[in-house]
Chain A
Amino acid sequence: MTKVSELAIRAENLSKRYRIGMLYRHDTLRDTLASSVSRARERLRRPHKTPTSPDPTPDASAFIWALNEVSFEVDQGEVLGIVGPNGAGKTTLLKILSRVTEPTAGRAEVHGRIGSLLEVGTGFHQELTGRENVYLSGAILGMKRREIDRKFDEIVAFAEFEKFLDTPVKRYSSGMQVRLGFAVAAHLDTEILLVDEVLAVGDTAFQKKSLGKMRKITREGRTVLVVSHNLVSIQEICTRAIMLSKGKLVCDGDPRYVVDQYLKSVPTSSAAGTVLARAADDRAALLSVDLTDERDQVIDRVVSGQTFAIRCTVETHDVSGSVAIDIGFDDSTGRRVANVTNVLTNEDLRIDSPLTVFSCRIPEVPLAPGEYNMIITLRGPQNLWLVCPSGVTLRVESGDFFGSGKMVESPWIGTSLIRHSWKAEPASKKTP
């Protein structure tokens, strides 16, 4: 690879117009015939009246510009993130660049073969086995048979599905299908890779793995265009980002800057959807709180004695520096049962990008079965203060906390479980 940056993609005034309803309505022959008949009848009825307009020009409101004069250039080796709200034209842009659909106007130049991953598991056939689908999907994505032969073992190893190679894909869990689909696509050898929303699929562990793979791909000097709502990963893997809004390119630059701009542009409802809590001055919002187990799988409840982590995703604007985060656990009567905070563990947590995930690992949780309200507080520099007083529940199920084969059951055991042991011995006569 030469140091001098070479052009990979040049888009000039790319525009795409869709007829509204086009995606939902299927013309039937009858519709077409009926409309042409009514037009002819109209002409017969008023043969002398010269039409005011030459032809009923398509009503402008019946069309939507999914992409409106978008121009940009991408150099080889760049990893370009594309962000924007739903319907901004992100997917349309990828579809035009991958030649799935044609632009209505404008032009683009693509230097090198393009591999596109617009959906995980493209071309999978439910009746075929995993092995067969690797070949089919690979071929559809543009791989040659020999290439697939060569990479087959690698793909299988990546997806971790050796055992199910000869099982029809329809018997796979959706997570397995996603893994397999991503594994095939991730082994595409094209100079340019287009990826749409793929990073958002699968469980946390697999998301991590695919993110790792994406990072590896980008290190190979290949050009990648990523569309994702997962702004954290955009920040993490992209070297540059652009933001689309209503079909127009509105922002271009450093991913952190673009993500920040994007988050600012959607002030009321956050980009990630619902917001659990928001700072009074709007500089921070708690987007989500997830529980994950030791294998990084998202879980919806924990078992007494289980090791798990609480992951809080926080969105901030114009804030950077150290923060103090605090999670209190209140029982159903509102009494504080326990509290975790980085202030007491003396761990430095910093915010230096618009989206941050704070993760707190709790080994062998000593809580009795029941529901606990988590009260999350974030204090940061420049008087940042955010409290999420309710709405996040930690459900603890009874489990074999003591490793004795006995389940810990409510209701007389209290709220905390204390590790302990017993013994009995004859009492000494001397003791009173």
Chain B
Amino acid sequence: MTHSPTTQTREHSPVFKIRPSKGWRRLNLRELWEYRELLYFFAWRDIKVRYKQTVIGVAWAVLQPFLLMVVFTIFFGRLAAIPTNGVPYPLFSYVALLPWGLFAAGLATGGTSITANQALITRVYFPRILLPASTIVAALLDFGIASVVLVALMVYYGFVPTLAAIALPLLIMLAVVTSLGAGFWLSALDARYRDIRYTIPFLTQLWLFATPVIYPPSFVSGPLRWIYSINPMVGVVNGFRWALLGQTFAFDLSSWLSVVVALVIFVSGIFYFLRVEKTLPDVV
């Protein structure tokens, strides 16, 4: 939809032109800036609502990765005795579960954000991309809360983060960008094809196995490793272990591939979303 306020104004009121639009569109950054408060309100709503009427409330943010870590430790750490290069398995898995949880939460809530807000989309105008974009904020908050357990585990096991820890924000960014990109794609598709909502849990599970959360990256070697590195979360998880636990991390082409793929998912996600945005109220 072309509706950017033109420079022509009357009594300081903007003029909106409404006409059918065609083809690909660019991101209207000025409009997004005008709607920044709504992004905040969507995120605020998601956070407020998330743990309403629960008994333990925000503790769920900690409990989810923690329980997964316990289960993984029992099955993969103890029973399967997966080698972890000298890192205690609980710490080994938790340090990976943390960014993984961020990514997966963004995927799950972002991917269904358009259909979940169907009533809004058919009644009010706002840049629709705010919906999948805002879901990552709640995921980041949970991530922050769950990090407390990581700190505790590191203290308990006597691990001191290396200087590489300054790279953490960049690694978090990488997870966020990947999650957002996938969220844009899935939410736009979910509006039209309700199959997506059934695909997301399955996709998340597959993606988990394609990411070295349970096992060390050394399990995957040879030419397979290149295909493996297409998954940006491989770079994120390896990076986390490198930055916090001092695990070796080869900065080779494969790690840059992660970054490139993440950006491709992100940018293509935005473009695809914007292309179908105008049809969303009619198909959702």
Residues of A participating in the B interface, judged by any CB pair closer than 8 Å: 6, 18, 22-23, 26-30, 32, 95-114, 116, 118-119, 122-123, 125, 127-128, 132, 135-136, 139-142, 144-145, 168, 191
Contacts and interface: CB of A to CB of B under 8 A. Distances in A.
Interface in B226-284: 278, 281-283
A412 to B, nearest CB: 55
B18 A27 contact: no
Interface string B45-58: 10011001100000
Contacts of B15: 109-111
Given A116-B123, A140-B120, A141-B124, A97 B18 contact: yes
A28 B124 contact: no
Contact of B123 (A28, A109, A118): A118
Nearest to A168: B52
A112 B18 contact: no
Interface of B: 1, 3, 10-11, 13-21, 37-38, 41, 44-45, 48-49, 52-53, 119-126, 192-195, 278, 281-283
B193 A102 contact: no
Contacts of B38: 139-140
Given A22-B282, A191-B13, A122 B120 contact: yes
Given A97-B18, A102-B20, A125-B49, A29 B41 contact: no
Nearest to A19: B282
B58 to A, nearest CB: 15
Contacts of A99: 1, 3, 16, 18, 125
Chain B at the A interface: mostly helix, strand, loop or mixed?
mixed
B48 A128 contact: yes
B13 A27 contact: no
Given A26-B193, A142-B124, A145-B41, 12 more contacts: A99-B1, A99-B3, A100-B124, A106-B20, A107-B19, A109-B18, A119-B119, A132-B45, A135-B41, A139-B37, A140-B126, A168-B52
Nearest to A99: B125
A102 B278 contact: yes
A224 to B, nearest CB: 15
B194 A108 contact: no
A28 B193 contact: yes
Contacts of B119: 119, 122
27 contacts: A27-B193, A28-B194, A29-B193, A95-B122, A96-B18, A99-B16, A100-B121, A100-B124, A101-B282, A102-B1, A102-B18, A104-B20, A106-B20, A107-B18, A109-B17, A110-B15, A110-B18, A112-B10, A112-B14, A123-B120, A127-B52, A128-B45, A128-B48, A128-B49, A132-B45, A144-B37, A145-B41
A98 B1 CA distance: 12
Contacts of B49: 125, 127-128
B156 to A, nearest CB: 37
Given A101-B282, A136-B41, A123 B195 contact: no
B169 to A, nearest CB: 28
